[in-house]
Structure 1
Amino acid sequence: HEAGVPVGYGLGSSAAVALSLSLALNEALGTGLSRERAAQVAHAAEIRCRTGLGDVAGALDGGMEVRVSAGAPGVARVRRADSASRVVIACYAPVDTRRYIADRLRSINGLGGRMASELRSPSDAEALQSMSARFAGHIGAITPRMRGAMRALGAEGIACGVALLGQTVFALVADDGSEARALGALGPFGGEVIRARIDNEGARVEG
């Protein structure tokens, strides 16, 4: 695999690897699985290996989503919307997802379920980011460096959230100069900064 994002920073890279492998092997070997079934295989691998809890479903369809109920693609109930936003991501340090999930699964599932019911629309970017930061604080995932970066973004009037599981801060930005302000605010805190757009197509086999 060639990954365009760092691994272990809460950006769903393990789900992307599992999903891309499942879709590509299904195509190459002529297995005949539906796209949804191939994604379910990838989801099961993520759960079994404890490398993630639900990123496969998000990667499959792209865009912004609210997971109304847990489960594999085709099982989970999802509210989804396209997004024209760009995202600025500051990656500070990786987190061992497997160990973190093993230690804090009950806490993760408890608050996560309640927040999913509060978040009504996948297009409400500010609420999404605010809740992700609140959730990260609840499970003790915000470091002093991350908190400093989040305050710097807030001082610029830019909402931000935390990508889990990783020491990663992100901000969804519009085409109004906020991307440049976000980059300026994050500059003093170092780390690897990534700029990207939201992909609304989801996973697909190309070529």
Structure 2
Amino acid sequence: MLKREIGQAFAPGHITGFFEICDDSKNPMLVGSRGAGVCIDKGVKTSVQLMPKNIQKQIKIQINTNPMRVESPKIRLRRIKTQFADCSTRVSQEVVNMLIEPIQRSIRARQINLLIDHEVEIPIGCGLGASGAGALSLALALNHLFGLGSSLEMGQVAHRAEIKCKTGLGTVSAQFTGGFELRKEPGAPGFGVVKKLKISEDYRVVCLVVKKMPTPKLLVDKQLKKRINENGARALNLFLKEPTVEGFMKVSRDFAESVGLISPNIRKILAVTDKNGIVCSQAMFGETIFAIVHQSLAPKLSEIFHRIAPNPHWIINAGISREGASVLEWRRQ
């Protein structure tokens, strides 16, 4: 049964400063990461609408109004072009695949004609959690429209989809929770342990995005995983001694240096921000520099990024999303 005309939800972007990969379990609900990061108030808003039955059976996914038609009920992987990057819609497809049968039962019909619209405010594949935000906002929007279960269950669906697609580990649990967070134990929402940390309303997150990194390839690199886990465990122990914004930025930078993913371009920019007394680090995973700074410093850091960044680039000055993912009430215009 339909609950409303359109289901809508928002999930924030997320930046991981340091982490430890925890993927030994065969249960995807227990796979994830330990580490820390911050959710930003820019992310992905997803709208879902059931289309008339008299059109051809399809599921149509749009990212920033660029359409893509895929078959129902099982969706084939294709690729589309967005204004940010050449990106895969595989995670969204996986979420729909996991929920297609409950949707069919909800409306008592096998033919599903869905329009899914992702409004993406953040670059994709650049360490800002766009895949997790897309998956989580889609699951919540589908639930908003069809009444499929609890928000927690939808968070678990999004987590499973991201784990399967290898686009992230602990991102969904962090985005489900919101704020400046510490992931104490790995796993999906309801399985992992995520703690919100105190942070003043006066802080902003400023990012310089240079280019994307291939998260799925990086997550299966055995040598990189070894370096991440050795340094991630140490970083977590250090951060627990000083669980503040300043402690987080310092530990995140040390982690990024130790893991060895800093490119020459990023190194040059970090040298300038260091000279200006602003501790920045690299988002995991992306060729993206970020810092959590007092709002009085945000314009200065943005100006530095504008002045020294290579082209093309993308600068984000965002607030902190303190409440995490949520459904949105749609109103007819």
Whether the TM-score (by the shorter chain) exceeds 0.5 is yes
Match of 1:142 among 242, 245, 262: 262
Task: Give the whole-Å Cα distance in 1 for the aligned partners of 2:195 and 2:158.
Answer: 21
Secondary structure of the equivalent of 1:5? coil
Write 1 or 2 for the structure with the bigger share of strand. 2
Please, which of 47, 50, 56 is the counterpart of residue 163 of structure 2?
Answer: 47
The aligned amino acid for 2:205 is: V
Q: CA RMSD in A?
A: 1.7
In structure 2, how many angstroms separate the alpha carbons of the residues matched to 1:37 and 1:113? 29
- Structure 2 unaligned segments of length 5 or more: list them: 1-117
Q: Which residue of 2 aligns with 1:184?
A: 303
1:98 aligns with 2:216: yes
Deviations 1:22-46 (A, max 9, x none): 11111211112x2122101111111
Aligned partner letter, 2:262:
I
Q: Which residues in structure 2 correspond to 1:20-59 (within 5 Å)?
A: 20-32=137-149, 34-59=150-175
1:145 shift after superposition:
1.3
Q: Deviations over 1:132-173 (max 9, x none)?
A: 222222332111111121121122211212111000000112
Match of 1:87 among 201, 205, 213: 205
Distance in 1 between residues matched to 2:301 and 2:140, nearest whole Å: 35
**Do residues 64 (structure 1) and 64 (structure 2) align?**
no
**What secondary structure, in the 3-state scheme, does the structure 2 residue paired with 1:68 have?**
strand
Contact preservation (8 Å) 2:235, 2:252: no
Describe the shift of the 1:113–1:192 C-alpha distance in structure 2 as closer, same or farther (beyond 3 A): same
Whether 2:324 is the aligned partner of 1:202: answer yes
Secondary structure at 1:2 match in 2: strand
Q: TM-score, normalised by structure 1?
A: 0.91
CA drift at 1:124:
1.0
Work out the CA distance in 1 between the residues paired with 2:185 and 2:236. Answer: 8
Letter in 1 for 2:119: E
How much does 1:205 deviate?
0.7
1:8-23 residue pairs with structure 2 within 5 A?
8-23=125-140
Matches within 5 A, 1:134-173: 134-173=254-293
- Scaled by the length of structure 2, the TM-score of the pair is 0.58
Between Structure 1 and Structure 2, the one with more helix by share is 1
User: Residue 118 in 1 paired to residue 234 in 2?
Assistant: no
The structure having more radius of gyration, on CA atoms, is 2
Query: Secondary structure of 2:237's match?
Result: helix
Tell me which amino acid in the other structure corresponds to 1:86.
Answer: R
Q: CA deviation at 1:82?
A: 4.8
Matched residue type, 1:30: G
Cα deviations by residue, 1:48-97 (Å, 9 ceiling, x for unpaired): 11000110011112110111121111222222125321111000110010
- What is the CA-CA distance between 1:108 and the residue it aligns to? 2.6
